[in-house]
Amino acid sequence: MPEQPARDEDLVRRYLSGDRAAFAALVERHERRVYNLALRMTGREEDARDATQDAFLTVLRKLSSFRGEAAFTTWLHRVTVNACYDLLRKRQRAPLLGRGDDDLPAMEPPPAPDPADDSSLSLDVQQALMQVPEDFRAVMILHDVHDLRQEEVAAILGVPIGTVKSRLHRGRVALARAMGLSRDEPAKGEPADAPGTSEGTVSP
């Protein structure tokens, strides 16, 4: 018999009513998007793996409270971005030097080269992305890489659309400068050219 692909919201309902396979179907459908968002946000495969697992575990834990007010994909993106923020904060808090634990390398290697994107261009873009503050990075990745509309990005991040527009533009300019595309080095400390620091996390 002909089959329509189930809507995400229907898969959620089916899982909650006891259909174990429905959650696996949700994961299979979205894992690539979640993983790639996490990879661009964190810049490291190891962190992207952790953030992907954290995001799906959060979804699993909170699935019963998912009321369908937002689209499932909006919620999933929000959970993923927050998982990335959490990981990035943990990484910042961890002392870079004197990390004495025997089970950890004394120094983390530099950001791992992206295994599937071996062109130097994408490496440069990824490295430059990591120099842009994460709130701006998130907007660029969601809009320019994942091709989500500004309205969707605003819903995911819980910010007004004007904030999305402004972060998008400032983030792009900062990214281009980090890639060395600037004709003239900007004056140091010029406020309009330097996106500010992170404005905090997205409410879950």
Site residues for another protein per CB under 8 A:
1, 3, 14-15, 17-21, 23-24, 27-28, 31-33, 35-36, 39-40, 45, 49, 52-53, 56-57, 60, 114-117, 121-122, 124-126, 140-141, 144-145, 150, 162, 165-166, 168-169, 171-173, 175-177, 179, 181-184, 192
Nearer to another protein, 96 or 204 (CB): 204
Shortest distance, CB of residue 145 to another protein, whole angstroms? 5
Q: Are 5 and 23 in contact (CB under 8 A)?
A: no
Nearer to another protein, 102 or 185 (CB): 185
Nearer to another protein, 140 or 159 (CB): 140
Shortest distance, CB of residue 50 to another protein, whole angstroms? 9
Shortest distance, CB of residue 59 to another protein, whole angstroms? 9
Helix, strand or coil, per DSSP, at residue 93: helix
State the amino acid at position 24 in one-letter form: A
Shortest distance, CB of residue 49 to another protein, whole angstroms? 5
Shortest distance, CB of residue 38 to another protein, whole angstroms? 10
Nearer to another protein, 100 or 180 (CB): 180
State the amino acid at position 192 in one-letter form: A
CA angle 6, 9, 11 (to 5 degrees): 50
What is the spatial distance between Cα 22 and Cα 42, in angstroms, rounded to a whole number? 29
Nearer to another protein, 45 or 86 (CB): 45
Shortest distance, CB of residue 10 to another protein, whole angstroms? 10
Nearer to another protein, 97 or 190 (CB): 190
CA angle 58, 37, 24 (to 5 degrees): 45
User: What tokens does 156 get?
Assistant: 């995911």
Contacts of residues 32-38 at CB distance under 8 Å and 24 or more positions apart, as own/partner, are 33/146, 34/76, 34/80, 36/145, 36/146, 37/77, 37/80, 37/81, 37/84, 37/141, 37/142, 37/146, 38/80, 38/83, 38/84
